[in-house]
């Protein structure tokens, strides 16, 4: 449907209004419109393939908009974002001399950039555009009330028309971008992203808080569904990192602050001392033999001890010793206490005088790959984790199957083994309603590895739902059944321990057979899910990144920008964004690297011009705007013997906090000035202040 309005001059001449008041503002503020100005607005209402038109009467919306002042043309079309839809806009701009465009369609997150590019092609400023979101805000939430959805769509589109009347052309600044990348996190995601970037010729700084890169994948036995040796896949990639001349690897290090913006991120990295000179150490392990301190080994999940001076694991990178300063007798008690490792080292590699180091680097883009933590099963007290010695978690079972360096199991596991699924996942009681996606399959993997190693074992898997959604996963699950693993649908409510034998009794209802089962097991394995890593909270604050309700970092858009964030130049990879398995993690890491490469290869980036603007004549230098700015974009400066607020438009993200807080009205947000907001409110409240019409 198309409605064409005559030129503005012809309409004004025909209506002959007595006054030319365009809008009447609160407090008596008047704004006059120049009648000679030919304001010509085009309004386009999208069907969105039925997403909108099946609920909203788009033709009624277009018809009403065609009757609004300054609207020259109003159309509805099936797919406005399509090539054909964009061509309609281009042709109409040329034919009808349109100078402002309103698109009533889906969220501006989807296609605002698409239509801005369309305006640029037509020779218009891209900021003479408004998007009315009548899908997410009308048809989707009100699908049971089409009349109400249509009425709301009319209001939202009318608000956009009121806003576009006051829109002003905006220009952007070009930000130069180099080829330097900071990758935070040295698990498989960080490793893959770093290698992709390094191989492409970009300068990479890989920061890992642990003494070695590798992450959780280094602790796994095999990978499902192919049962490849995890270390055999991971260790060559780990070795490739220091071998790549474009990658600077900083282990035992943490990012403590990041300031700046895309193209100019200033990062401060704190590197803890290893107290061992990695250039001198040859990992002969003589020092370990003499060290008297024994503490639980984190890599072996506490099921074996290590010394105060140690190598993290057998294929660690760097494969060098370090000293745990929290337990070393020399470092905790001072003086000449102990120090045996230094005395026996044949290469003089132990150096107790090493100090922490601070690295200041400047990078252009950032990839966050800080991984996940395993759910603390102690929070599920009914299962006795940490209380019963024969209740362990899945990662501990991974280490048991992997055995130690001599090929000996870390502990005896007996003949009857049970797995309990969804511990810490899909559980409202602990606040984790999401599925961790890996637990069903790693339990399936471990169970049949145990069964295959000793066919006389009885292995049970107690589950709520088995989720085998990946490529080859369903076949893998069936193979486990054929191996003799017994899958029982039912979640045990409580476990009890025999104090003498230490065996665990499980009571559960088999919801398929409707029978109560009670059985005794030598070992119970809790299939614990993923939770956000400890570093996620700190890095989200440092980089001002949004988190999803589940606590993982939120991507810019799950479909259009699954590895981007709302912070320009910052990308996410792997399980920091949400639970996923190794193939998905590697794929997302490569995707994040490619997005960073795409951005940096442009050489420069146009900064978003919707930023704060300070009227220096009105500014009283009170500093309120400086205190409320979450991006540190505002500061007080001296100008012509007067102190005023100044905005760094590159740092500013256009949140509007300063405009809302400024007591004098000196701070305004471009594209969302106070007059624009008031015009939108008037339209929302039904105040009609168009020329020649009664309010």
Confidence band for 2, pLDDT divided at 50, 70 and 90: very low
Confidence band for 406, pLDDT divided at 50, 70 and 90: low
Does the global pTM surpass 0.95? Answer: no
Same domain, 343 and 364: no
Residue 688 lies in a domain: no
Same domain, 66 and 90: yes
Is 527 strand, coil or helix?
Answer: strand
Q: What is the pLDDT of residue 3?
A: 41
Spatial contact of 369 and 215, defined as CB atoms under 8 Å apart: no
Q: What is the pLDDT of residue 137?
A: 96
Q: What is the DSSP letter of 637?
A: E
Per-residue pLDDT of 152-186, as tens digits, reads 999 999 999 999 999 999 988 888 999 999 999 99
Name the one residue in this structure whose structure tokens are 């760097």.
Answer: 318
Same domain, 55 and 92: yes
Do you find a cis peptide bond into 225, omega within 30 degrees of 0? yes
Question: Taking residues 102-106, what's their average pLDDT?
Answer: 96
C-alpha distances (whole Å) from 397 to each of 385, 437, 449 are 13, 18, 11
Of 568, 600, 632, the one marking the end of a domain is 600
The span from the CA of 535 to the CA of 635, in Å, is: 30
Task: Tell me the two tokens of residue 69.
Answer: 């002042």
pLDDT over 70 at 515, yes or no: yes
Q: What is the mean pLDDT of the chain?
A: 90
Same domain, 231 and 309: no
Q: CA 209 from chain center: how many Å?
A: 20
Q: What is the pLDDT of residue 605?
A: 87
Residue 559 lies in a domain: yes
Confidence band for 37, pLDDT divided at 50, 70 and 90: low
Question: Taking residues 497-505, what's their average pLDDT?
Answer: 94
Q: What is the pLDDT of residue 608?
A: 86
* Phi, psi (deg, nearest 5) at residue 661: -95, -20
Per-residue pLDDT of 552-611, as tens digits, reads 999 998 888 999 999 999 999 999 999 999 999 999 999 999 999 999 999 998 888 999
Confidence band for 404, pLDDT divided at 50, 70 and 90: low
Residues facing 393 on adjacent strands: 526
Q: What percent of the chain has pLDDT over 70?
A: 93
Residue 676 lies in a domain: no
Same domain, 457 and 520: yes
Same domain, 138 and 109: yes
Same domain, 84 and 213: no
Is 210 strand, coil or helix?
Answer: coil
Task: Tell me the two tokens of residue 296.
Answer: 């639980």
Question: Taking residues 310-319, what's their average pLDDT?
Answer: 96
Is 523 strand, coil or helix?
Answer: strand
Name the pairing type of β-strands 523-528 and 391-393.
parallel
C-alpha distances (whole Å) from 676 to each of 22, 160, 493 are 13, 10, 58
| Alpha helices in 526-671, H assignment, sequence order | 534-543, 582-600, 624-628, 657-661
Confidence band for 367, pLDDT divided at 50, 70 and 90: very high
Question: Taking residues 191-205, what's their average pLDDT?
Answer: 98
- Is residue 29 exposed (0-12), middle (13-18) or buried (19+ Cβ within 10 Å)? exposed
pLDDT over 90 at 369, yes or no: yes
Per-residue pLDDT of 210-242, as tens digits, reads 999 999 999 999 999 888 899 999 999 999 999
Of 506, 531, 556, the one marking the end of a domain is 531
* Phi, psi (deg, nearest 5) at residue 461: -125, 115
Is 190 strand, coil or helix?
Answer: helix
Same domain, 582 and 460: no
Task: Tell me the two tokens of residue 395.
Answer: 């990662």
Confidence band for 405, pLDDT divided at 50, 70 and 90: low
Return the CATH number at 666: 3.30.70.3270
Confidence band for 397, pLDDT divided at 50, 70 and 90: very high
- Expressed as residue numbers, the domain containing 461 is 373-531
Per-residue pLDDT of 424-464, as tens digits, reads 999 998 999 999 999 999 999 999 999 998 999 999 999 99
pLDDT over 70 at 208, yes or no: yes
Of 170, 188, 206, the one marking the end of a domain is 170
Same domain, 509 and 415: yes
User: Max alpha carbon distance in the chain (Å)?
Assistant: 102
Confidence band for 538, pLDDT divided at 50, 70 and 90: very high
Residue 678 lies in a domain: no
- Helices 473-483 and 439-453 pack at an angle, to 10 degrees, of 30
Per-residue pLDDT of 63-90, as tens digits, reads 999 999 999 999 999 999 999 999 999 9
Residue 145 neighbours by CB distance under 10 Å: 13
pLDDT over 70 at 688, yes or no: no
The span from the CA of 417 to the CA of 525, in Å, is: 7
Residue count of the chain, please give it: 695
Number of domains in the chain: 5
Return the CATH number at 105: 3.40.50
pLDDT over 60 at 252, yes or no: yes
Per-residue pLDDT of 123-151, as tens digits, reads 999 999 999 999 999 999 999 999 999 99
Residue 681 lies in a domain: no
Q: What is the pLDDT of residue 479?
A: 92
Hey, CA dihedral for 562, 566, 572, 575, is it positive or negative?
negative
The span from the CA of 17 to the CA of 662, in Å, is: 37
Q: What is the pLDDT of residue 456?
A: 94
Same domain, 388 and 499: yes
The span from the CA of 562 to the CA of 573, in Å, is: 9
Residue 572 lies in a domain: yes
Residue 232 lies in a domain: yes
Per-residue pLDDT of 290-313, as tens digits, reads 999 999 999 999 999 999 999 999
Task: Tell me the two tokens of residue 538.
Answer: 């700190």
Name the pairing type of β-strands 71-77 and 634-639.
unpaired
Contacts for 338 with CB less than 8 Å, ≥ 6 apart: 292, 328, 329, 330
Same domain, 523 and 582: no
The span from the CA of 259 to the CA of 570, in Å, is: 12
* Phi, psi (deg, nearest 5) at residue 680: -65, -40
The span from the CA of 621 to the CA of 22, in Å, is: 33
pLDDT over 80 at 645, yes or no: yes
Spatial contact of 596 and 178, defined as CB atoms under 8 Å apart: no
Do you find a cis peptide bond into 318, omega within 30 degrees of 0? yes
Return the CATH number at 366: 3.50.50.60
Q: What is the pLDDT of residue 589?
A: 98
Same domain, 54 and 95: yes
Contacts for 564 with CB less than 8 Å, ≥ 6 apart: 555, 556, 557, 570, 571, 572, 595
Is 605 strand, coil or helix?
Answer: strand
Task: Tell me the two tokens of residue 190.
Answer: 């960080």
Q: What is the pLDDT of residue 514?
A: 87
Which DSSP string do the residues of 77-107 spell out, in sequence order? ES-TTSHHHHHHHHHHHHHHT--EEEEEES-
Q: What is the pLDDT of residue 606?
A: 85
Q: What percent of the chain has pLDDT over 90?
A: 81
Residue 63 lies in a domain: yes
The span from the CA of 353 to the CA of 323, in Å, is: 12
């Amino acid at each position: 449907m198309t409605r064409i309005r005559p030129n503005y001059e012809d309409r004004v001449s025909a209506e002959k209004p007595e006054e030319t008041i365009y809008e009447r503002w609160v407090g008596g503020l008047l704004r006059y419109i120049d009648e000679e100005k030919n304001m010509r607005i085009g309004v386009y209402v999208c069907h969105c393939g039925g997403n909108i038109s099946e609920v909203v009467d788009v033709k009624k919306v277009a018809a009403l908009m065609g009757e609004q002042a300054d609207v020259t043309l109003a159309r509805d079309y099936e797919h406005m974002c399509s090539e054909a839809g964009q061509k309609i806009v281009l042709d109409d701009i040329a034919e009808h001399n349109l100078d402002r465009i309103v698109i009533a369609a889906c969220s501006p997150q989807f296609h605002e950039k698409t239509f801005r590019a369309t305006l640029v092609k037509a020779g218009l400023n891209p900021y003479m555009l408004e998007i009315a979101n009548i899908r997410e805000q009308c048809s989707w939430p009100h699908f049971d009330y089409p009349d109400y959805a249509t009425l709301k769509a009319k209001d939202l589109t009318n608000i956009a028309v009121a806003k576009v009347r006051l829109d002003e052309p905006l220009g952007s600044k070009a930000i130069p971008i180099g080829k330097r990348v900071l990758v935070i996190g040295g698990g498989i995601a960080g490793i893959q992203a770093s290698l992709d970037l390094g191989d492409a010729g970009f300068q990479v700084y890989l920061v890992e808080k642990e003494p070695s890169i590798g992450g959780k994948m280094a602790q796994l036995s095999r990978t499902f569904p192919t049962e490849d040796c995890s270390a055999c896949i991971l260790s060559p990639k780990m070795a490739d990192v220091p071998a790549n001349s474009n990658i600077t690897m900083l282990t035992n290090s943490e990012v403590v602050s990041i300031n700046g913006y895309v193209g100019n991120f200033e990062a401060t990295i704190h590197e803890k001392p290893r107290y061992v000179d990695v250039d001198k150490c040859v990992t002969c392990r003589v020092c370990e033999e003499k060290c008297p301190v024994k503490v639980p080994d984190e890599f072996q999940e506490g099921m074996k001890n290590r010394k105060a001076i140690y190598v993290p694991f057998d294929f660690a990178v760097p494969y060098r010793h370090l000293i745990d300063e929290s337990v070393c007798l020399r470092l905790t008690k001072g003086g000449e206490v102990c120090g045996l490792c230094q005395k026996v080292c044949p290469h003089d590699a132990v150096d107790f005088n090493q100090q922490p180091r601070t690295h200041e680097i400047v990078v252009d883009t950032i990839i966050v790959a800080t991984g996940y933590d395993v759910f603390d099963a102690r929070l599920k007290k009914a299962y006795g984790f940490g209380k019963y010695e024969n209740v362990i978690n899945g990662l501990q079972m991974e280490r048991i199957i992997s055995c130690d360096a001599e090929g000996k199991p870390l502990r005896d596991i007996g003949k009857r083994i049970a797995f309990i699924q969804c511990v810490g996942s899909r559980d409202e009681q602990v606040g984790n309603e999401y599925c961790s996606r890996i637990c069903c399959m790693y339990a399936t993997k471990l169970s049949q590895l145990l069964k295959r190693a000793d066919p006389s074992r009885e292995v049970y898997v107690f589950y709520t739902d088995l989720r085998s959604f990946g490529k080859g996963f369903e076949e893998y699950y069936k193979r486990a059944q054929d191996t003799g693993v017994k899958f029982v649908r039912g979640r045990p409510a409580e476990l009890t321990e025999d104090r003498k034998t230490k065996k665990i009794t499980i009571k559960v209802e088999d919801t398929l057979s409707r029978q109560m089962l009670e059985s005794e097991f030598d070992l119970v394995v809790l299939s614990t899910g993923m939770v956000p890593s400890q570093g996620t909270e700190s890095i989200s604050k440092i980089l001002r990144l949004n988190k999803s309700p589940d606590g993982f970092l939120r991507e810019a858009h799950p479909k259009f920008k699954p590895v981007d964030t709302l912070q320009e130049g910052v990308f996410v990879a792997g399980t920091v964004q949400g639970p996923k398995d190794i193939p998905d993690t590697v794929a997302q890491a490569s995707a994040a690297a490619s997005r960073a490469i795409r951005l940096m290869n442009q050489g420069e980036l146009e900064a978003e011009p919707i930023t704060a603007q300070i009227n220096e004549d009105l500014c009283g230098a009170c500093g309120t705007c400086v205190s409320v700015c979450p991006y540190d974009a505002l500061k007080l400066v001296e100008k012509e013997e007067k102190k005023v607020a100044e905005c760094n438009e590159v740092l500013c993200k256009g949140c509007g906090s300063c405009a809302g807080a400024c007591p004098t009205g000196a701070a305004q947000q471009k594209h969302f000035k106070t007059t624009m907001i008031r015009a939108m409110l008037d339209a929302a409240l039904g105040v009609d202040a168009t020329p020649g019409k009664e309010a």
